[in-house]
Structure 1
Amino acid sequence: MKNYIAAEYIKGKRSFSHFFFMWFPLMVVLICIPFSQFMYFDINFFVPLIYNWWPTLFLPIGLAVLGYQSIQREKETHTQNYYYLLNQNMFWKTKLITLATYSLTANILIALLTIILEFIMYDSSNIIITNVLLASLVLWITTLFIIPLSILLAQLTTPILSIIVNLFGIVTGIFTAVGNHWYISPWGWSLRLITPIIKTNPNGTLLQENDPLNSTSIVYPGLGLALLIFIILYISVPLILSRTRESE
């Protein structure tokens, strides 16, 4: 698998794959600094804004585009004609592992940038570190399912359809995240589970202490559900795509 991962990394050079995990977090952080200061007139909104915008838009869209580009790149270079020469199950699993690593790197980077800037802009009493790290870990786990789903849709249909489906999912996730049936849309899991951790409502406002959403009781069940869905997709998607190619 080491050679497969190296090949995926080389194919992703000078593409959105590298832009995503390096520059997307930096861009989000730089946007949230002036917004917290000049739109909300309170620099203490910096962290809530980051952990609202990142899971609401930038992270899921970034992952959807990663999946789109990974398949589109294969189609444009016609390398899919040579899949039969490879261990296809390993080939597809490598794609999932590589993109999951990009996502982990991006979430780590945005957490580190957030913590560093907290020390620069916040009073010492307002700095939160553990919650930021936990929120980033939760965001990584709860959005992993987007990667195999996007790969599956892009390969079996057209790459652009994976973007459309994810956009629709993001919209539904925003509306379901605050309700009792938050689990209906997987795209809303990330927003819902970090709410009691980062103390920010899915709509970007600060969470009140007596708010019903301020309960960590759903965090572990939600993480378990997210991991279960990803494991199912991680196992099934490579098998489906391998057999689809063999039947052509």
Structure 2
Amino acid sequence: MLKYLQAENLKCKRTFIKKLILIAPMVTLLFGVSSGQWFQANSFNWWYMYILPGYISIMAAMTNEREEKKLRYRAVFGLPISLKKVWISKVLVNGIYMTFSCMVLLVGILLGGHLISNTVPIFRAFTGAVLIAVTSLWQIPLCMFLAKKLGMLGAVLINVGVGAVLNVMAASASMWWICPYSWTSRIMCPAIGSLPNGTLAEIGDPLRNPGVIPIGIILSLILFALLLIITANWFEKQEVN
């Protein structure tokens, strides 16, 4: 499996995908700067609500386009290799890149907080960045499937557009756990004390209940595993058109 991961990482050498690792969080931080004293909370909010879903969608689409340009996957399907492992390695490499981006964002938020306004303690900020990465993993196999079927525009519209609407509708509801797009927003309330709309939650607000954190983590990992298995099995059955 390690060779598959190394191969997928090598394919991304000198591509825009690797540039996005830095570009995506930097764009988020620029939006956050305009918030003044709420820089940290709003940077997190911009990230998991809009920028990260868009980043994951674009990264998935570019991963697909990289293979499509090479004779419509003939360079992959014609080799004596495991297509399941190829798909899984693509998902995992994208997951690693996404995690690196979350860490870049974390560093920017901590530095910006020191210079502008420190409203989120270091431990909470670190916890928030890790939770965002973990609870967003499931979007990667989903977006890679959408990109393969619908292209970049379809993946972005569904994962960002539809996802944002569902997020706003479900994040503060009692049945938040039914909607995967609301999981990150909901657990960020107790993690960093930020509400889904980006404002700080007051002490005693029921949305700050830390009991939702393990629920969100477990649901996210289960959904990620299911989507990875389903899409890997689907990809294994693909043939060159």
Instruction: Please confirm whether the aligned pair reaches a TM-score higher than 0.5, indicating the same fold.
Output: yes
Q: State, as a whole percentage, how many aligned pairs show the same letter.
A: 24
In the alignment, structure 1 residue 90 sits paired with structure 2 residue 85: yes
Q: Distance in 2 between matches of 1:219 and 1:63?
A: 22
Q: Distance in 1 between matches of 2:150 and 2:45?
A: 31
Give 1:181 deviation, angstroms: 1.6
Q: Distance in 2 between matches of 1:136 and 1:121?
A: 19
| Map of 2:187 onto structure 1 | 193
Paired positions, count: 238
Contact 2:39 2:116 in 1 (8 A): no
Secondary structure in 1 matching 2:145: helix
In the alignment, structure 1 residue 165 sits paired with structure 2 residue 158: yes
Q: Distance in 2 between matches of 1:30 and 1:155?
A: 31
| Map of 1:6 onto structure 2 | 6
In the alignment, structure 1 residue 118 sits paired with structure 2 residue 117: no
Give 1:240 deviation, angstroms: 1.3
Q: 2:175 aligns with which of 173, 177, 181?
A: 181
Output one character per residue of 1:9-60: Cα deviation in whole Å (capped at 9) or x when no partner.
2332343311221121122113312x122xxxxx2x1111111111010011
Q: Distance in 2 between matches of 1:29 and 1:5?
A: 30
Q: Which amino acid aligns with 2:177?
A: Y
Give 1:79 deviation, angstroms: 5.0
In the alignment, structure 1 residue 100 sits paired with structure 2 residue 100: no
| Map of 1:72 onto structure 2 | 65
In the alignment, structure 1 residue 217 sits paired with structure 2 residue 211: yes
Output one character per residue of 1:65-107: Cα deviation in whole Å (capped at 9) or x when no partner.
1111111221122250131313211110110010000011011
| Map of 1:56 onto structure 2 | 49
Secondary structure in 2 matching 1:131: helix
| Map of 1:155 onto structure 2 | 148
Q: Which amino acid aligns with 1:15?
A: T
Q: Distance in 1 between matches of 2:227 and 2:154?
A: 18
Give 1:204 deviation, angstroms: 1.1
Contact 1:131 1:197 in 2 (8 A): yes
Residue ranges of structure 2 left out of the alignment (5+ in a row): none
Contact 1:169 1:185 in 2 (8 A): no
Output one character per residue of 1:181-207: Cα deviation in whole Å (capped at 9) or x when no partner.
212321121111111111111111111
Relative to the length of structure 1, the TM-score reads 0.89
Residue ranges of structure 1 left out of the alignment (5+ in a row): 38-42
Q: Which amino acid aligns with 2:61?
A: Y
Of the structure 1 ranges 104-113 and 162-171, higher mean CA displacement relative to structure 2 is found in: 162-171
Relative to the length of structure 2, the TM-score reads 0.91
Q: Distance in 2 between matches of 1:92 and 1:194?
A: 30
